[in-house]
Structure 1
Amino acid sequence: MKIVDVPEEWEVLASTEHFSGRVISVRTDRVRMPGDTSADRDYVTHIGSVAVVALDDRNRVLLLRQYRHPVRHLLWELPAGLRDVKGEPTVETAARELAEEAAYRATTWHTLLDLMSSPGMSDERVRIFLARGLSEIPEEERDFQHCHEEIGMPVVWVPLAEAVEKVLAGEIHNSPAAAGILAAYAASADGFTSLRPADAPEA
């Protein structure tokens, strides 16, 4: 069998929405199963998100630390955000998040990887980009006001190899950060030549 994920949709016999919010909704679908049986599947619908592995010319990755209430942790993460602007290309969403959260721009963008963050319980899709050719946005050009968990977020540069060690040592837990760091390290072996373009189709 060819090892590649493929779209497929089994018949939904009934669907109930239990909660609807700005970012997520919670629903139960009754799905027809093989053998002409059915089963209920509870899951979270999500608007989707992007994340950015910003890599400078010294092979350092930009990380920021943010409080995540559901897990009660301060987590080291990549610049990231929601796909909350209808019709906006994902690379533009990523560029906006890199500018707003870390005050950097990039001249070179590639698709690094696509994740289904927790496919047994959510339909969230995360596209992670590699951004290079970085430059800091001058103070006078920054027009984004941080609020809530983003206030006072520390931003650091970590050598990519050291970031890999931290992922493997269990010191970095955020899933897009861990996946993005490991993917960037793997992709660096051929100088990133095998990466897809920033506008590559999504599954």
Structure 2
Amino acid sequence: MTDDGDADLTWQTTDSEIDYTCPGFDVRRDEVVLPDGTETDFHYVEEPPAVVVLPFTPDGDVVLIDEWRQAVGRVNHALPAGSTEPDDDDLAAVAARELAEETGYEADSFSPLFTVEPSNGLLNSVHHYVLARGCEPTAEQDLDFNESIRVAVTDYDDLLRAVLDGDVRDGRTVVGVTRYELADRWQRPGARTGAGDEGL
């Protein structure tokens, strides 16, 4: 949501460069002029858009992954997710690819849920959430060399309870499950098991 009245808050970018690059993301430095005329710089992480998949089996369970996360030093219980490639223009295809690579599951259909900017004070990340239905283990995992992942099929209500109790701390999973519960499950009774939406 934007407003023409935001002009008094807008920063002017006068220059922009990559200060550091590594597999997966860059650190960008923008030279900016603040609304009061102050000149300064601002660093942020730049990374490709990502797709986060909420995958339901035909029985209504959710296909999750247990993955080691080095930054926090523990195994993370989470929804499958992955970054887009430069030539990706079909979110359903990206969701299908990431779901198969991380879990070995394939879905009958995909439909969009919502899009968020998870931490736009530090990152330019955009996460596209996609609902997958009819997921079955009909593919083979194809993990990257630095991915340590175990598939964990979980009852939806157990997952929701773990999210609400704080046992699941992964931000993408908390956002995805609570948003699905509030908007899609409450407003459309058939959505609990992934029924009633049109595909992408």
Shorter chain as denominator, the TM-score bin is 0.7 to 0.9
Aligned pair 1:92/2:93, yes or no?
yes
Identity between Structure 1 and Structure 2 (%) = 24
Q: In structure 1, what is the equivalent of residue 118 of structure 2?
A: 117
Could you tell me how far 1:44 is from its partner in structure 2? 0.7
Distance in 2 between residues matched to 1:92 and 1:35, nearest whole Å: 45
> Are residues 1:69 and 2:70 paired?
yes
Shift of 1:69: 1.1
Aligned to 1:20: 21
Q: What's the TM-score once normalised by structure 2's chain length? A: 0.82
Residues 100 and 142 of structure 2 are in contact (CA less than 8 Å); yes or no, is this contact kept in structure 1?
no
1:178 and 2:174 matched: yes
Q: Identify which range, 100-109 or 122-131, moves more after superposition.
A: 100-109
Q: Distance in 2 between matches of 1:127 and 1:56?
A: 20
Aligned partners of 1:74, 1:6: CA distance in 2, in Å?
42
Aligned length: 190
Q: 1:167 aligns to what?
A: 163
**Equivalent residue, structure 1, for 2:145:** 148
Cα distance between partner residues in 2 of 1:128 and 1:35: 38
- 1:25 Cα shift? 0.8
Q: Cα distance 1:92–1:158, how it changes in 2: closer, same or farther (>3 A)?
A: same
CA displacement at 1:66 relative to structure 2: 0.5
Judged with a 3 Å threshold, the aligned counterparts in structure 2 of structure 1 residues 198 and 26 are, in CA distance, closer, same or farther, namely farther
Higher strand proportion: 1
- Which deviations, in whole Å up to 9, do the C-alpha atoms of 1:122-164 show, x marking residues without a partner? 1011111110122220xxx53x54343434x322222222212
Q: Which runs of 5+ in 1 are unaligned?
A: none
In the alignment, what sits opposite 1:41? 42
CA distance in structure 1 between the aligned counterparts of 2:197 and 2:23, rounded to whole angstroms: 31
Quick one: distance in 1 between partners of 2:135 and 2:100?
A: 11
Give the secondary structure class of the aligned counterpart of 1:99. Answer: helix
Q: Structure 1 residues 134, 16: closer, same or farther in 2, change over 3 A?
A: closer
Residues 165 and 45 of structure 1: CA distance in aligned 2, closer, same or farther (over 3 Å): same
Q: Equivalents in 1 of 2:146, 2:45: separation in Å?
A: 23
Amino acid corresponding to residue 94 of structure 1 in structure 2: A
Contact 2:64-2:80 at 8 Å conserved across structures: yes
1:64-91 deviation line (CA, Å, top 9, x unaligned): 1101111212101111111125234121
Contact kept, 8 Å, 1:49 with 1:125, in 2: the verdict is yes
Could you tell me whether the CA contact under 8 Å between 2:67 and 2:75 is conserved in 1? yes
What code does the residue aligned with 1:154 have?
R
Greater shift in the superposed pair: 157-166 or 47-56: 157-166
Q: Give me the whole-angstrom Cα distance separating, in 2, the residues matched to 1:80 and 1:37.
A: 39
